[in-house]
Chain A
Amino acid sequence: MVNEGFSSITQSLNGPIAQFLKDMEPAGFPLFPEQASTIAGGVDRLFFFLVLVAGFFSALIFILIFIFAVKYRRRSDDEKPKPIAGSHRLEIAWSVIPLLITFVMFGWGATLYVRNSRPPVNAVEVFVVGKQWMWKLQHSEGQREIDELHVPLGRPVKLTMTSEDVIHDFFIPAFRVKKDVVPGRYSTIWFQATKEGRYHLFCAQYCGAQHSAMTGWVYVMKPADYEKWLSGGGGESMESSGEKLFSRFGCVNCHHADGSGRGPSLVGVFGKPVQLESGETVTADEAYVRESILAPNAKIVKGYPAIMPTFQGQVSEEQLLQLIAYVKSLRTAERITK
């Protein structure tokens, strides 16, 4: 409850602070990036608090140095100042007070961080594959983009990302979000845009020759315009593409919907715990599905033989994402075409 009271106070400061900063900016010369997401204001408020604290202590030290240098300047060559022995009380004071201040900083930041780490359940899902030196994105509905991301205003958007080669980083300053995009694993971020417009997208992890060119734009559109844009693209949904791949790669030959095949049925598997031969239990998330395709013998489902061949080198990262989308969609047996 204290938390809410605190954040309502700071929230009400958001407008005046933002206005103050805007007034400070010389014409057209920005000091702060735009606030275009639900969390941007919160991050800026915390940043402003840190600036105040840092500014206060820096100013204090600079001013004291100046005052001492003038007031205690040596006036005669044989001046002998009285030695001050030290003071335990002072030492404790100026250790504990800064410590408490850092606790406040930590607590505030940690709260933001934890809160922002959990994407809302009904988020629009977009899948990102980074490669040297471009961003390939695909919406679940099938729409593909390169170096551009169209998102609806006012709805949470969740990005699931991986890299084809080296580590990249997906950074949208206006939304205050950033996450490394790592080969061999999926990383996720989410945001909810609050302002229409066009915002920078940067790669923020050095990735080779054209790292500074691996940039793009995020377009925030009114929900109606977004729907229009989605349907305008044509192309099939990721689930549908995934279904086709499931057939093309022969997965359907072993993974029968009714469980009669040599491999386990995948209906209703996604997101649930899976019992393994080794005795441990894992959750069937995106990473598990990806590993099952690329390194099937790493985790064998209990009661099944280790006969699944690997598809490493045969299936691209985008195709993996489409297959995962398909597996996710297998909630009921009717979804399977066999």
Chain B
Amino acid sequence: MNQWLNDSISSPWREKLATPEFTHSHQFDDNAQQFEAASLGMWVFLLTEIMFFGGLFCGYAVYRSQYLPSFEAGSRLLNVGFGAANTAVLLASSLTMALAVRAAQTRKGNALMIFVLLTMLLGIAFLGIKFFFEWIPDWRDGVVPGLHWVPTAEVVQHVAGRAGAVLPRVELFFCFYFFMTGMHALHMVVGLGIMTYLLLKARTGALTSGHFAPVEISGLYWHFVDIVWIFLFPLLYLIGGRY
């Protein structure tokens, strides 16, 4: 294991890429140019994703500054335990993803498939916790905004400032909670799709014969989705004060 981890991290990847097993697409001059282009392309795409989520973060910031007590009250209704568990799950999945990239770089086909599978399982665990332990109970508690906003008496008691009056704009907090975690979950599902593709490709051996670019850039995407959650977790779960 140690030897495998230490294995030529510093070696120029250009050598590894100039393998006869993989031919670059016709518009490129060599494999290295293709890999560079693919990487830059993924970074640019992630930049667009930052701007996409940015709009939601901006709306959150505006309303939180206007309705801080309501946002704090709403935040206290969320289950920090599950949120923290999900954070740990995602961080672990980023680790397994990074290990998968390493496996592809060092041409370890079995390790690659195992790590991709682990990443997927962790991703599914994340979605499972979110859906079954958070969203479904939220629906039962009546805190899904819009057509089904009927907070139960217990919920009302939790968010009430004093004796029975529900803070206004708690519903707005939950709008952003569901939109932001929902958009994030959608990206996770897409990520799982990408992982499935990697798994299938890995079985043919195509990813461990020098052309590991697809694994690397998929890794970039997966890490990005993880980082978005790292921002979502404190902003949504931890602003209420009492855990």
Contact = CB atoms under 8 A, between A and B. Distances in A.
Interface of A: 278, 295-298, 300, 305-310
A305 B163 contact: yes
Contacts of B161: 297, 300, 306
A297 B163 contact: no
Contact of B168 (A298, A300, A307, A309): A298
A292 to B, nearest CB: 12
A244 B85 CA distance: 57
Given A296-B165, A297-B167, A298-B69, 17 more contacts: A278-B68, A295-B168, A295-B169, A297-B161, A297-B165, A297-B166, A297-B168, A298-B67, A298-B167, A298-B168, A298-B169, A305-B162, A306-B160, A306-B163, A307-B162, A307-B165, A309-B165
Interface of B: 67-70, 160-163, 165-169
Contacts of B67: 298
Contact of A307 (B69, B163, B166): B163
B168 A306 contact: no
Residue of A296, A305, A306 with highest tally of chain B CB at under 10 A = A306
A118 B167 CA distance: 35
A297 B165 CA distance: 7
Which 8 A-B pairs have CB atoms at the shortest separation, nearest pair first?
A: A306-B161, A306-B162, A295-B168, A297-B165, A306-B165, A305-B162, A297-B167, A297-B161
Nearest to A294: B168
Contacts of A296: 165
Contacts of B69: 278, 298
A176 B167 CA distance: 42
Nearest to B160: A306
Contacts of A309: 165
Contacts of A308: 165
A295 B68 CA distance: 14
A298 B68 CA distance: 9
A183 to B, nearest CB: 16
A308 B167 CA distance: 12
A310 B165 CA distance: 9
A307 B70 CA distance: 16
Nearest to B162: A306
A297 B163 CA distance: 12
Contacts of A298: 67, 69-70, 167-169
A197 to B, nearest CB: 43
8 contacts: A295-B168, A297-B161, A298-B167, A300-B161, A306-B161, A306-B162, A307-B162, A308-B165
Contacts of B70: 298
Nearest to A305: B162
Contacts of A306: 160-163, 165
Contacts of A300: 161
Contacts of A307: 162-163, 165
Contacts of B160: 306
